[in-house]
Amino acid sequence: MNEHVEGSVSFEVSDFVATVTLNRPTKLNAMTPMMAAQVVEYMKRCNEDDAIRAVVLTGAGPKSFCAGSDIGTLDDYTTPWNFRNRPDYCDAVRGLLKPSIAAINGYAFGGGLETSLSCDIRIASANAQFAAPEIKLGWIGGGGMAAFLANSIGASNAALMLMTGDPIDAERALQWGLISEVVESAEQVLPRAQDVARTIAQRAPIAAETAKSNLHAAFNMPLENAIQYERDLQTICFATDDAREGRAAFKEKRQPVFSRK
């Protein structure tokens, strides 16, 4: 765990849930290279630590989840190739093996939107706004923006966001399927996301991670291949100690105690 220092990323674990907070509220939690490196390191830690079963990502303060990469730091890359090969925080979040939830308080712009889209579940406050504004500055997103938007809100809505760069509010994001839920205030969104994460953390961990892999396959494989892959994953889960514990607990009318084995 690190301290809650402005311009850093904080990391806390409780009840099998890791909470990762972008802590630069005075700059709308815009991501610096140092913060990106911290996110990459924390995502690696989440994957390696069996005491972590779900991950919540959020931003400090009520105004912003993440406004994307700090534009002022982009000219620090000496060549476009160095920019291309920078440690990417969206890649790190997408590489999580554990279920992930974005608690979106305020702006989710650019890389912030991509970060939220890299999570499995998105819960937002009523003041949340979502945008792919890179086109206004002369480039496009590079963390999976088009692919994620097309998969989540459809081609026409994705084109509207990508080609105008204009934001949409939480109500429209919910209507389009970009997010799962809206809570009334920014102060409520993190507790709600942590509640969902704790619920997931109570489930069989291998099964939860396998469900995540299964969803990825559903988006990336032809239908028949995805169904066969799901059946193979089911067989693997069925052979685990946790599955045996689940069946025993059902017969004995008690709560299962899962061990990730």
Which CATH code fits 205-252?
1.10.12
- Rounded Cα distance between 165 and 140, Å, is 10
Return the CA Rg of the chain: 19
Q: 9: helix, coil or strand?
A: strand
84: left (phi over 0), alpha (psi -120 to 50) or beta: alpha
Closest alpha carbon to 57 in 82, 38, 77, 80: 38
Name the average pLDDT for the chain: 93
**Structure tokens of 36?**
């990106």
Q: 22: helix, coil or strand?
A: strand
Q: What is 65-92 written as a DSSP string?
A: EE--B-GGGGGGSSSHHHHHTSPPHHHH
Position 87 confidence tier, pLDDT thresholds 50, 70, 90: low
Q: What is the mean pLDDT of residues 204-225?
A: 93
By the 8 A CB rule, do 145 and 117 touch?
yes
- Rounded Cα distance between 117 and 158, Å, is 13
Which is more confident, 176 or 261?
176
Mean pLDDT lowest for which of 71-75, 119-123, 189-193, 204-208?
71-75
For residue 224, the model assigns a pLDDT of: 95
Annotated catalytic residue, options 134, 181, 184, 245 = 134
Position 78 confidence tier, pLDDT thresholds 50, 70, 90: low
Q: Is 3 a catalytic residue?
A: no
Enclosing H/E stretch for 111 = helix 111-118
For residue 32, the model assigns a pLDDT of: 92
Which is more confident, 124 or 4?
124
For residue 141, the model assigns a pLDDT of: 87
What residues does each domain of the chain span?
8-201, 205-252
Q: What is the pLDDT of residues 219-251, one digit of tens each?
A: 889 999 999 999 999 999 999 999 999 999 999
Q: What is the pLDDT of residues 50-65, one digit of tens each?
A: 999 999 999 999 999 9
Strand runs (DSSP E) across the chain, as ranges?
A: 8-14, 17-23, 54-59, 64-66, 100-104, 107-109, 121-125, 129-131, 168-169, 181-183
Q: pLDDT > 90: what percent of the chain?
A: 84
Q: Is 41 a catalytic residue?
A: no
Asked if CATH classification 3.50.40.10 holds for the domain at 8-201, the reply, yes or no, is no
- Does residue 73 register a pLDDT over 60? yes
For residue 60, the model assigns a pLDDT of: 96
Looking up tokens 């942590």 gives: 194
For residue 85, the model assigns a pLDDT of: 64
Contact partners, residue 102, CB within 8 Å, separation at least 6: 56, 57, 58, 65, 108, 115, 116, 119, 121, 122, 123, 193
Cβ neighbours, 10 Å, residue 156? 8
- Rounded Cα distance between 161 and 165, Å, is 5
- Does residue 2 register a pLDDT over 70? no
Mean pLDDT lowest for which of 102-111, 137-146, 198-207?
137-146
For residue 228, the model assigns a pLDDT of: 95
Annotated catalytic residue, options 48, 114, 171, 245 = 114
Enclosing H/E stretch for 160 = helix 155-164
Q: What is the pLDDT of residues 106-132, one digit of tens each?
A: 999 999 999 999 999 999 999 999 999
